[in-house]
Amino acid sequence: MEIQHSMQAVDAEVRAYVFSLVSALGGSSAAEDGHYVLGDDALAVLRDLKRWIRLYDEETHRLDVRRLLAEANLVKGDLLEILAAWTEEAEEGSLMSKIAMNCGRCALRVYTLRSTDTDPQ
């Protein structure tokens, strides 16, 4: 009971926006035999997700966005799928290379719990 009491409800608009970002990132495609297919603006979506974690979670001192991303299975269902498709032959600075780099950064933000009071950034 105590745990439920301490967890505050996530704002419905925040929930809808975060889940729409996760959906826009990509997903498995029937046309591609169930393989993961990136959304049209995957790089922008990854950058938006990082911003939401930084600006919403860290500024409000809550973990709402991180909890929603865990609920949406972002790391296992999307980020790891994208990284698995990345090949070492991808040129540095290419779109896929930038997407892979941002996947790693986003995963780190999801799992990093830090205090903005002690972080010099």
Instruction: Record the tokens describing residue 5, joined without a space.
Output: 């009491």
Find all residues with CB under 8 Å of 36, minimum gap 6, and list them.
26, 27, 28, 29, 78, 81, 82, 84, 85
What pLDDT does 24 receive?
96
What pLDDT does 82 receive?
92
CA distance 76 to 117: 30
**Strands 36-38 and 26-28, how do they pair?**
antiparallel
CA distance 97 to 120: 28
pLDDT in tens, the chain (121 residues): 344 434 568 889 999 999 999 999 999 888 878 889 999 999 999 999 999 998 998 888 888 999 999 999 999 999 999 999 877 776 767 888 899 999 999 998 888 764 444 444 4
Whole-model pTM: value is 0.79
